[in-house]
């Protein structure tokens, strides 16, 4: 009995100490891990809600995601495990905290300035842009007015492990069959495309494409496939003052949202393809392999990145906005799949440098267990940059 009383008193003392460490002005607010406060809701999804927050000790801006512990398919615990596995990897959002409080699973991560989708929209509107570079330091950004959050509220019911429903989110506004891609001419005809009218922001998108390929290379090297590549899951952070003083300025790209990610390696072996999987990810950007029921592998992340790049340049993909008409028994997923398989690379990449046609052909030439040649793809991008 005395031991139980001692433990109880110790717990009480710990809680008292934690509260005493919180500045007086925050003690009436919801404080996560005695360190993080909510400020403003910035998004929601099948996982739950995401808020802009602040570290009340350091002043850093943070992103806070939470979901009910009773969710049918909770993802935040899994996402925290993936982020811990990827900890320290350049270009990966940093996990600052995971825990369960008030019957909610909560993760706290870096907060970024805006999405890649929003960045390209700024380009299209002619706003001044800096050249994208690789991630160097974590982002520290200011936040807006404070807003008290009740953790007992604002939790949508989770009903699916697929983010296909997020497909509704939009921004405004010669091939090789050889598995050794280095045998192909690096220029690929882009010198001729330079004389044509291509999107004025092609250079910037190509630079971001290089960054996306570099980041996903690191993710894959860690044995993980992302499985939900889309422009909203690539985030931009601005350089801090110290970076600018060093002359390292430039926007930096990061990847987020690992709730659907999986390991493609089991020990020293690649997972097998069972050909019977349901669709996972955002249907606008998934490969036809995923529509066909294939298990997700590295090639599918690459294909999604290429689709994302084409979308950023053209502002649309041929299979966007498709819905069954009256009397049509096909689902939206079936309509999108039919359009994808019947759209040729020439049609998809019309008006763009040949690079995108070439990379798409290469990605679709990969077999299920093949390791993509990231260096080859990046060299092709750099070859284009030399002629535009």
What is the DSSP code string of 123-147?
A: HHTT---PPEE---S-------S--
**Tally of structural domains, the chain:** 2
Q: What is the pLDDT of residue 141?
A: 36
Specify the DSSP class assigned to residue 349.
T
Residues written for the chain: 388
- Which residues are the active-site residues? 228
Q: What is the pLDDT of residue 244?
A: 41
Q: What is the pLDDT of residue 48?
A: 72
Domain residue limits at 197: 164-385
Based on the fold, state whether residues 285 and 358 are members of the same structural domain.
Answer: yes
Based on the fold, state whether residues 87 and 174 are members of the same structural domain.
Answer: no
Segments in the chain below pLDDT 70: 1-21, 28, 45-47, 127-196, 239-249
Q: Residue 12 falls within a domain, yes or no? A: no
Based on the fold, state whether residues 361 and 284 are members of the same structural domain.
Answer: yes
Q: Residue 260 falls within a domain, yes or no? A: yes
The domain that holds 52 is classified in CATH as 3.30.200.20
**Contact in structure between 134 and 211 (CB atoms under 8 Å):** yes
Q: What is the pLDDT of residue 132?
A: 54
Q: What is the pLDDT of residue 84?
A: 97
Token pair for 94: 């940093």
- In this prediction the pTM is 0.81
- Residues contacting residue 385 through CB under 8 Å, at least 6 positions apart: 203, 206, 207
**Contact in structure between 94 and 138 (CB atoms under 8 Å):** yes
Based on the fold, state whether residues 187 and 299 are members of the same structural domain.
Answer: yes
Based on the fold, state whether residues 233 and 378 are members of the same structural domain.
Answer: yes
Token pair for 367: 């077999």
Q: Residue 292 falls within a domain, yes or no? A: yes
Pairing of strands 265-266, 48-55: unpaired
The Cα-based distances of 68 to 103, 117, 166, 257 in angstroms read: 6, 29, 20, 18
Please write the tens of the pLDDT for every residue from 162-189.
444 344 445 654 334 445 544 444 444 5
Q: Residue 347 falls within a domain, yes or no? A: yes
Q: Considering 111, 145, 175, which residue would you say is the last residue of a domain? A: 111
Radius of gyration over every alpha carbon of the chain, rounded to an integer in angstroms: 23
Q: Residue 1 falls within a domain, yes or no? A: no
Q: Residue 64 falls within a domain, yes or no? A: yes
Q: Where are the beta strands (DSSP E) in the chain?
A: 31-32, 36-45, 48-55, 61-68, 95-101, 104-110, 114-115, 132-133, 224-225, 234-237, 251-255, 262-263, 265-266, 269-270
């Amino acid at each position: 009995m005395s031991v139980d009383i001692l433990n109880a008193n110790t717990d009480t003392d710990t809680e008292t100490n934690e509260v005493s460490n919180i500045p007086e002005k925050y003690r009436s607010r919801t404080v996560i891990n005695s360190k993080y406060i909510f400020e403003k809701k910035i998004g929601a999804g099948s996982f739950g809600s995401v808020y802009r927050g602040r570290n009340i000790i350091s002043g850093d801006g943070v992103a806070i995601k939470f979901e009910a512990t009773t969710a049918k398919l909770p993802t935040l615990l899994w996402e925290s495990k993936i982020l811990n596995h990827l900890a320290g990897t350049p270009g990966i959002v940093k996990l600052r905290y995971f825990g369960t409080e008030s019957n909610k699973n909560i993760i706290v991560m870096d907060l970024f300035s805006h999405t890649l989708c929003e960045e390209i929209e700024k380009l299209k509107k002619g706003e001044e842009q800096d050249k994208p570079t690789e991630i160097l330091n974590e982002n520290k950004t200011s936040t807006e007015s404070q807003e008290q959050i009740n953790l007992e509220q604002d939790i949508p019911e989770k009903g699916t492990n697929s983010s296909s429903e997020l497909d509704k989110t939009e921004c405004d506004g010669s091939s090789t069959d050889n598995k050794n891609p280095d045998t192909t001419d690096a220029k690929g005809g882009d010198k001729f495309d330079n004389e044509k009218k291509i999107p004025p922001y092609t250079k910037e998108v190509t630079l971001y494409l290089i960054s996306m390929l570099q980041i996903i290379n690191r993710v894959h090297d860690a044995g993980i496939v992302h499985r939900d590549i889309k422009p909203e899951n690539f985030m931009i952070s601005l350089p801090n003052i110290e970076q600018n003083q060093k002359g390292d300025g430039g926007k930096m790209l990061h990847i987020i949202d690992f709730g659907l990610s999986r390991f493609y390696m089991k020990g020293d072996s690649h997972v097998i393809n069972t050909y019977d999987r349901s669709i996972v990810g955002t249907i606008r950007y998934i490969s036809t392999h995923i529509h066909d029921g294939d298990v997700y592998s590295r090639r599918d992340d690459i294909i999604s990145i290429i689709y994302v790049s084409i979308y950023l340049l053209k502002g649309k993909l041929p299979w966007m906005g498709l819905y069954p008409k009256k009397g049509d028994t096909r689902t939206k997923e079936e309509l999108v799949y039919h359009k994808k398989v019947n759209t040729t690379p020439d049609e998809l990449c019309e008006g763009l440098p040949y690079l995108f046609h070439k990379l798409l052909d290469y990605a679709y030439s990969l077999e299920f267990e093949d390791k993509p040649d990231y260096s080859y793809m990046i060299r092709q991008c750099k070859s284009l940059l030399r002629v535009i």
